[in-house]
Amino acid sequence: DAKTTQPPSMDCAEGRAANLPCNHSTISGNEYVYWYRQIHSQGPQYIIHGLKNNETNEMASLIITEDRKSSTLILPHATLRDTAVYYCIVRVFNRGAQKLVFGQGTRLTINP
């Protein structure tokens, strides 16, 4: 089972920052938080990941709370092409393997 909870849908105006929340209250100390997005009928696209510290790359920023029980993905200047389902995932160790177990994600719609 996925260890994350996300709102099912969100809307954001084009050009504004999109802030996508994620709860992962049962995360363990060595488990990473990953964010992917999936545009309709395509494979998921990697966005960013982190463990404790906030992270930033050319696509987004990831803010992880100090207790690591929640995080926020920030798309600083959303465009129409950012419309997608965004998945927050805790990479788990299970039966000796690291796995990405997807939850239901947040359907983000960017409005013109």
Q: Is 101 in the site for other proteins (CB under 8 A)?
A: yes
Pairing of strands 70-75, 61-64: antiparallel
Candidate ranges 14-22, 23-31, 40-48, 65-73; the one touching other proteins (CB under 8 A): 40-48
Closest separation between CB of residue 15 and other proteins, Å?
26
Q: Is 93 in the site for other proteins (CB under 8 A)?
A: no
Instruction: Count CA atoms within 13 Å of residue 105 on its CB side.
Output: 17
Q: Are 87 and 37 in contact (CB under 8 A)?
A: yes
- The site for other proteins (CB under 8 A) is made up of 32, 34, 36, 38, 41-46, 49, 87, 95, 97-105
